[in-house]
Structures are given as structure tokens and as C-alpha cells.
Amino acid sequence: MKFTKPAWVMHKDSSMRGESKRLSIFSVHVHPDGSRIATGGLDAKVRIWSTKPMLNEASERSGRPPKSLCTLTMHTGPVLVVRWAHSGRWLASGSDDEIVMIWDLDPTAKGRVWGSDEVNVEGWKPLKRLPGHESDVTDIAWSPEDRYLATAGLDSQVLIWCGYTLERLHKIDQHQGFVKGVCWDPVGEFLATGSDDRSVRIWRTTDWSLEAEVRKPFEHSPGTFFRRLSWSPDGAHITASNATNNEGYVFIAAVISRSTWTSEISLVGHENTVEVAAYNPHIFLRDSSQPVVAANICSVVALGADDRAVSIWQTKSARPLIVAKEVFERQIMDLSWSQDGLTLYAVSSDGTLAVFNFDTDELEGIAPQSAQEQYLKKFGFVPPPLPTGFSHQVPQSSRMTPPPSPSRAQTQTEFGATVNGTDGEQVNKLVAKRKNKKRIQPTLMPSSVPSAAVPSASTAPSSFAGPVAYAGASGGVGAARAFGEVPSASASLPPPPSARPPSSHAHAISPLTSAPFGTTTSSFGDEDVEMFPLDKDTEVRISSLDTSMQGGAKGKRRAEMNDGLVSAKPRTLGGDRVREAVPVKEIVTGSGGGVGGGLGLFSGEPSLISRLPVPSVLTYLKATIEGTEDVFEGRNPEEDGAVEVLFASGGKQTQWLDYLPSPILALAATPMFCAVAMQDGSVNVYSHTGRRLMPTLSIGSACSSLNASRHFLMLLSCTGLLYVWNVKKQCAAFPPVSVSAILGSSPNCTIISTTVRPNGAPVIQLSNGVAHSYDTTLATWIKLTEVWWAEGSDAWQGRQRTTQFASRGVLSALESSINEHTPPADDAEKVRPTWWNAALTLGHLEARLHAAKVLDSPPEYKQTLLLYAKKIADEGFRAKAEELIRELFGPVYWRPGRDEGWSPATLGMSKRDLLKDVLAVFARSKTLAKLALDWQDMLKRAANGE
């Protein structure tokens, strides 16, 4: 597979001259011939791009064909959806401005766009404006063979238009919430829509009545930008976005079966809401040698989500073919497969486009398009007859010399003009009437109207003389400028392959067939397909997706090598054992009642202990070691047998094992050590060769959670005591401390998550929207962040419009998590005091600065510091600015090497270097420019040792 992010595909903020800022791209769609794509953006523009320069480096360099083909500027609101007709002749776009537009190729409309630097090398003209929606148009779909056009909007309506005459045929208004997704059955029998009323509804195309309503997978689905859904090419399934499992805590795409209209299958693994599902247009065969029958058919579907990942699934396999994480900085808004099924385009609200290009052999079992046509015939559905005299079909012979569009034909006959389709278009000459300002004699007006109204029939070639003068000078500038741009987006693309070429082409992502996705930990008989393990299955997921992507192929190879070397290796404890899979079963239910999974979110008793549930005793537990495929496993016997832990390298070969006196409750593993917590309240800590690094720790009560990071091990006991040990130094990071202080007395306040940072700082997130850590120097619990800031801070994660914080540090992840678990109250209605926003924003940023220090997160510290400086500058708070400068500058006469009790660095970053950046921010502000200049001078002198 080839992966590329062409940096030149962008919707620009034209209000900012010089600097071009990327604006969100909401929609992408590939033309049926595959040679062009359309995108719709926040800038209210529809843009058309050629695909060859994206797929072919030589084409990208040569500029042939031109990258940008056309820019359509008629919408007055953000363009939320673009969809090509199956015929390829028309393009439909839907916008915030409530209008659906149909665009038609206009061979005469090429050239410079008036009032901009754009050059349209391919002309598209508005064919028809389809008014009717009373709010934003969110999704559009052309039915098979362009028989109908369905449009959906925030007015809760679905409108059906004739695909031939473009007249409105029907209005569906039974949805009770915004409609954010629409798709057609490839057979032509049904239409499916997805709405914020938490239902997907299926409509019959024969009479537009309701066939079915699917609610179950959407009962807890959160609000999202889109709910784009897709119907499989064999007609058998609909994959709907924005569904959830487990009371809304697991984000899935729901696969709904035709005719039963139930969802038995979920695609699990995205860490946030799925926005869009898109089926590959081809039928795939499980066994290519077998005929195209239902049992042998599977399909390929792509998902895009708010967790910024794109996953591609083949329905015959339990794991995704590919997961591309960190490819975007913000959520995915739309996906589109090319007609040949080999290329997938994805766009994001971060304003970038990504292209995944497959070889045929990578998409196993892909069947030709004819197979689908043949197969769909078995449904025996006969579509209603076409309106008479209309057709999308073009006789082969007249392909290249199409008759003029009807609108043109009409004007032609009316005015008797002859129009040559290629040399120019007809321009009606109108006569301007002087406006009668006083309107004293309104009767005079009509007399002048007739003459004014008759447009002259002659074409006016002279009217095009004007622009010629400057077309030469600035023509092509737009495209040329886009060329040399460094693909900024690709810089942030993990995994950074070594020696990435400067071009945006890269062969980065290898299919992930190995850990940690593949492990299906859910109990058998459950049809959930797991992309990566979930906490409820007690598998501790340490390795993040992106590192596994990097190590995927490599790690596998290494594992194979190990296999070959086994015989030559020295013996290990249990190394000859064959690892066998154990089904995960619950033996003893945890004390929290097990309602809300491992952490007892819904236990209702007021005492502290009931809020710190003990995990269930399961037959099998596992922890994967970050960056490797090594796993640390625990097994509790169901009847007679020994409790054992074992360490397997590469996920296969047992390296060592140990037997334990008491059932295992929890495991944790880092690249430094492994730890196991037992029911009797004892904890063993092992090295990677199975040596006990510390004496068995006796906590005295069972653990509620066990976490580890680098050298630190953290345990929260069910009695509410928090322990953190430094395994390397073999000492406690601080004396055990009770969480009762932060949990409070409310029975509804529970712990949502516990983690420990690589520096030993604990992070405890509570259900009341506050995240705490324990500061050893202050010997106090401290608040890292809390939902309070969401009520007024501009910098709150999720409110942030820029992509600055999308780089996912620990704090932004915490804030996102708080948003999910404790959604901030909608404060749109509340009246706030004047200084509310400034105070909360500054307070929030200051809190975040402290938190970044405690959690040892230098990038976030720096980001926040600059944001803080910007806010101070914007508000013009000179005293704060000066204090901040002095704090970072330190003693005036301090020089490197001199020790005056002042530390010149914070989190490993030089304070004076940070100050330089802060001053650069201040220098741009009116009130602080002078101050900044003075201190910049001071910094320079200090650096020169004056």
C-alpha cells in the first residue's frame, strides 16, 4: 500500500493575506473515472483536484495534469458534502447555506476566476440550485444509476429529488433530530438515513414509507458532526457510524443486516466516535475460486473517527486490514473509495487529505464490477419507470460532441442566437436603468422595462477583452504556489520512516497483522470484532497503536527468528511449554457488582470501599509490553490447578513462568519490569527474566487497580490507599496516601481511571470531572485539570479550534477524557460576568502549566506557556507579563556555571530559551511590544556575557 498526503490539497482562509491557513475539509468524493476528486470546505468552496499527481510522483513534479482543476465559489456557507453522480457528468454539493447545487461541466467556463488568483483549467457551471432544506445540508447520495438524489439536513428532513429532472419528488420528515447521513441500497429498493434522534431508518423507495427503524446500537451515541453511513455492495449490510456498546463507553460502527434490520456485528476499536463509514464498491470473495454466492461474499469497509484514525476492515476477518492512526490532527470527516476499489481518500477537519493506494493483491478476493451487477439481479427488484424522454445514457457515437445543455438550448431558441459550444457562451446584454431615487413617479418605471428586459442575443466577445491584460501576468499563480509547499501535514505523520523523502509520497504503513490488534479477547460466541483490547476484558493495553505500527512487521520477523533459535538456546523456566489459548471467563465476580466493568462506576453504596471495587477473578489476563510483542500473562484455574503467571516473548514463546499462592487480580508490565497483584493483597515484581526484583509486597487488602510506567508501579487498594514504588531504586515514591480526600463523601463520585506517569506521578480521574495527582513535595493532592475550566476557558480541549493541542499530550488527553465522561454543561444560555472568560482562560492555563510540570510533559508545558503568553498579550496584562518574564529570566546577573539557587531549566528546557519564544509573542501585541523589545535586548546582552 502506498500512503500519501498531498499538501497542495487545501481550502485556504483567504481573509489572511500572505499566510495561508488550512481550513477544515468536510467532504471528499472521487469522480467515477478516478481522475479527479471534489472536496468541500469551511471556506464555502467546492474544489476539484486531479488525482494523478497524488498517485504518481512524476506527475506531481511535472505539473501535468494541473493539480487544481476548478474552484467553485457560489456557496455562501461551508460546504459539508460533495457527491459525483454515477454518470460522472454532474456533481452535487450541499452547504450550510441550505442549498444543494448541481454542477455541470462547462467546456467554455475555463480560465481565471474573477476576483481571485485561481485559474480554473476545467470549467464547471451551476446547472441547478435546489432550494428546500431549511438548515445546513449535511449529506447527499445519488441512487443506483442516478435515478434519485437524496439530501439530508439539520432541518431533520430528507428530500428526494428526481435524478433526471432534478425536481423535488418527496419529503421525509419523520426524523426527530438532525439528519446527518444518507445512503442508498445498491439494489435500489431502500434508502437509509442516520439521525441525531439516535436512529437509523430504512425507507422503501417504492412509496417512501418506513421499512424499519434501528435504535439499539445508537441508544447512547453522542453528538457528532456527521453520521455518514454506507450500504455494502452486495446489498446485505449497512454499516452505520456513531454507534456504541457498553452503555456508550465503547465506540463502534454497527453493521445492520438487510431484511432483519438488526445489528449483530460491531466493529470495535476506535477510541472515539466513528463519523463515517464507506464500503469499497467492489464485492470481495472469500475464496476466489468459488462462485459469487452469498456464502462466499465478503466486503471491505473503511471507518473514519473522531480519534483521528482510519481503519479498513475486511468482513471475513476479525481484525482490521489496516489502522492508520495519527495520520490526521483532527477528526475524520469523510471517506471515498475510487470506482476500481483500489484507492481510498480521507479528509479531516484539520484541513488535509490522505490517500491510501492499494495493489490488487493487497485487497484479496476483489471481484470485478460485473460480479456485483450479476449478483444484485438475484434480488429481482424492478425500479419504477423513468420519466419519459429523460436519460443519463449517452449513445457511444456522440460522446465527444455532446448536445448543449437544455438551459442553453432553451435560451438559444428563445433568442434565436447561435452558440458555438466551445468558442464562447451566450451573454445577455441588459440595459441599466437609472434608479429613480425619490420614486415619485413609479408609473414611469414599467415603460422603460421592456426595452431593458430584452437581452441582446448577440454574443459579446469584446466583453472579455479586459481580463486578458492581467491573465497572463497572474495566470497559474495559484497552482504554482501550491507546488513548492512543504507538505506540512506529513511532518506529523508517525510512524516516521527513516529517511523519508522530501516529497509527500511515502510508503509508510504496513498492514497490521500482528499484535496487539489481532488478539480476540472477547468471550467466544460474542460476535464483536475487536480491533484492540478493551479494559473490560482485563487486558492491559500499554503499547499504543502508533508504536505497534512501526514495529509491526519488524517485530514479527524477529519473533520468527526466535523460533528458529529455540533449540540452541539455554533452558528457561517453562520454556518448553506449549502455549495454549484459554477462553476468558469470570470465576469470581469483583466486589463492585461488576455493573460498570472493572471500576464499578455504578455502585450505589456510599462507603469508600464500595466505590473502589476489586476486579473480578478471570481465567486469563494479559499485559503487553510497550513497543514489543512480549506479553505477560496470568491464568487462574477454574477448578483444580495452579495459579500461574508467564512471560512470552513475541507473544508466542514462553520465556519463564511462576506459580502463585493466590488468584491473580491484576497485571502490569513495562519495558523494565512486570508486576502481579493477588487476591490476598500481595504483589510480586519480576524482571523480564523472571527474577523477583523486590520482596513480595504485602498490602493487606486486595487491589482495586494496578498500573505501571517505566520504573514506577502504582497500586490502589480497595481500602483507598494509593502506593507508588520506584522499582529501580526499590523505594516508595511517597508514603501511602488515602484517596478519600479527593473522592469525598458523595457516593456518586467514583474513579474513572488511574494511571501512573513515567516520572512516578499518579493521575486519578474522577467521575466528577476532576483529575488529580499527588505532589510529593507539597505532600498534598493537587488538581491537574477539571471540568470547571470548560465553562469559560478558550483553551479547553475540544473547544480549541486550532490544531495546536491535537498533538495529544497527557493533559489534552485528560481533558478530552473529561469531556467524554463528564460533558461540560452547555453554557450558551448562561450570562457571565465581564471578566469571566479572561479569568478562566488564564486560570486554566496556569493550572495546566503546573500540571505539565508535575506530569513531566515538556511539549505541553511549552505549548501552554505560549498560549498563556498570547492570552496575556491579547488582554494587555502588563504586570502579569512582567512577572512571567522575570520568572523565566531569573537573576539578571546569572550566567551559566554560576549557582545562585536558581534553576536555569524547567522540564529540561532552558527558561531563557522559553523566554525568547514568549517575548516573540509579546512583541506582536500593542501594549507589550515595548516591554518585549527591552527584554529581548536584555536577553541578547546576557547571552553575550555583557
Partner 1 sequence: MSIVTIRNVEFLNNPARFLDPYHFRVTFECIAPLPEDLEWRLIYVSSPGNEELDQELDDCLVGPVPVGVNSFEFEGSPPSPDKIPPEDVLGVAALILTGSYKDQEFVRVGYYQNTEYDNEEMNEAQPEPIRFDRLVRDINQKPRVTRFQIKWDVSPQRPGQVVAAGAVTSAAVPSANDIDMAEATDVNGASS
* Contact set for partner 1, span 430-489 (CB under 8 A): 430-435, 437, 449, 452-453, 455, 460, 463-472, 475-476, 479
Q: Which three cell numbers stand for residue 765?
A: 480521574
Is residue 758 within the footprint of partner 1 (CB under 8 A)? no
- Strands (E) across 485-605 are located at 505-506, 529-530, 539-540, 586-588
The answer to whether 327 touches 5, Cβ cutoff 8 Å, is yes
Q: What is the DSSP string of 90-155?
A: EEEEEETTS-EEEEEE-TT--EEPTTSS-EESS-EEEEEEE---SS-EEEEEEPGGGSEEEEEETT
Q: How far apart are CA 271 and CA 250, in angstroms?
A: 8
Long-range CB pairs of 571-578, under 8 A, 24+ apart, other chains included: 572/654, 572/655, 572/656, 572/689, 572/690, 573/656, 573/657, 573/658, 573/690, 574/646, 574/654, 574/656, 574/657, 575/653, 575/654, 575/655, 575/656, 576/654, 577/646, 577/654, 577/657
Considering the complex, state which of residue 177 and residue 384 has its C-beta at the smaller distance from partner 1: 384
Helix (H) or strand (E) holding 230: strand 230-231
Of the candidate spans 65-73, 487-495, 750-758, 881-889, the one that interacts with partner 1 by CB under 8 A turns out to be: 65-73
Considering the complex, state which of residue 78 and residue 235 has its C-beta at the smaller distance from partner 1: 78
| 3-class secondary-structure state, position 907 | coil
Considering the complex, state which of residue 170 and residue 799 has its C-beta at the smaller distance from partner 1: 170
Considering the complex, state which of residue 402 and residue 735 has its C-beta at the smaller distance from partner 1: 402
618: number of CA atoms within 13 Å, CB side? 26
CB of 470 to partner 1, least distance (A): 6
Is residue 594 within the footprint of partner 1 (CB under 8 A)? no
Considering the complex, state which of residue 48 and residue 855 has its C-beta at the smaller distance from partner 1: 48
Q: How far apart are CA 916 and CA 11, in angstroms?
A: 33
Number of shown-chain residues binding partner 1 (CB under 8 A)? 105
CB of 133 to partner 1, least distance (A): 11
Of the candidate spans 70-78, 336-344, 844-852, 909-917, the one that interacts with partner 1 by CB under 8 A turns out to be: 70-78
124: number of CA atoms within 13 Å, CB side? 26
Q: Among residue numbers 511 through 550, which ones bind partner 1 (CB under 8 A)? A: none
Q: How far apart are CA 816 and CA 565, in angstroms?
A: 46
Neighbouring residues of 528: CB distance < 8 A, sequence distance ≥ 6: 245, 265, 266, 268, 522
Q: Among residue numbers 411 through 430, which ones bind partner 1 (CB under 8 A)? A: 411, 421, 424-430
Alpha carbon of residue 760 to chain centroid: 31
DSSP bridge pairs for 653: 649
Considering the complex, state which of residue 173 and residue 247 has its C-beta at the smaller distance from partner 1: 173
Q: Please select the residue that binds partner 1; options are 27, 95, 548, 705, rule is CB under 8 A.
A: 95
Considering the complex, state which of residue 337 and residue 935 has its C-beta at the smaller distance from partner 1: 337
Q: How far apart are CA 700 and CA 681, in angstroms?
A: 5
CB of 95 to partner 1, least distance (A): 7
Q: Please select the residue that binds partner 1; options are 2, 13, 109, 518, rule is CB under 8 A.
A: 109
Considering the complex, state which of residue 39 and residue 241 has its C-beta at the smaller distance from partner 1: 39
CB of 416 to partner 1, least distance (A): 14
Q: Which three cell numbers stand for residue 514?
A: 500482528
Q: Among residue numbers 134 through 153, which ones bind partner 1 (CB under 8 A)? A: 146
Quick note: the x/- pattern for partner 1 over 21-60, rule CB under 8 A, is ----------x-x-xx-------------xxx--------
Considering the complex, state which of residue 107 and residue 695 has its C-beta at the smaller distance from partner 1: 107
Q: Please select the residue that binds partner 1; options are 1, 102, 657, 674, rule is CB under 8 A.
A: 102
Q: Among residue numbers 846 through 885, which ones bind partner 1 (CB under 8 A)? A: none
Q: Among residue numbers 631 through 650, which ones bind partner 1 (CB under 8 A)? A: none
Could you tell me the sign of the dihedral formed by the alpha carbons of 106, 112, 118, 122, in that order? positive
CB of 502 to partner 1, least distance (A): 23
CB of 110 to partner 1, least distance (A): 5
Is residue 740 within the footprint of partner 1 (CB under 8 A)? no
Considering the complex, state which of residue 128 and residue 821 has its C-beta at the smaller distance from partner 1: 128
Which amino acid, one-letter code, is at 541?
Answer: R
Q: Please select the residue that binds partner 1; options are 111, 494, 518, 744, rule is CB under 8 A.
A: 111
Q: Among residue numbers 153 through 212, which ones bind partner 1 (CB under 8 A)? A: 163-167
CB of 614 to partner 1, least distance (A): 60
Considering the complex, state which of residue 421 and residue 858 has its C-beta at the smaller distance from partner 1: 421
The answer to whether 555 touches 514, Cβ cutoff 8 Å, is yes
Helix (H) or strand (E) holding 442: none
DSSP bridge pairs for 195: 179, 199
Is residue 121 within the footprint of partner 1 (CB under 8 A)? yes
Quick note: the x/- pattern for partner 1 over 565-584, rule CB under 8 A, is --------------------
Considering the complex, state which of residue 384 and residue 496 has its C-beta at the smaller distance from partner 1: 384
Strands 263-268 and 529-530: parallel
Is residue 73 within the footprint of partner 1 (CB under 8 A)? yes
Q: Please select the residue that binds partner 1; options are 129, 215, 378, 728, rule is CB under 8 A.
A: 129
CA dihedral 534, 535, 541, 542 (to 10 degrees): 140
Q: Among residue numbers 74 through 93, which ones bind partner 1 (CB under 8 A)? A: 74-77, 85, 87-90
Phi-psi region of 44 (alpha: psi -120 to 50; beta: other; left: phi over 0): left
Q: Among residue numbers 383 through 412, which ones bind partner 1 (CB under 8 A)? A: 389-394, 399-400, 402-409, 411
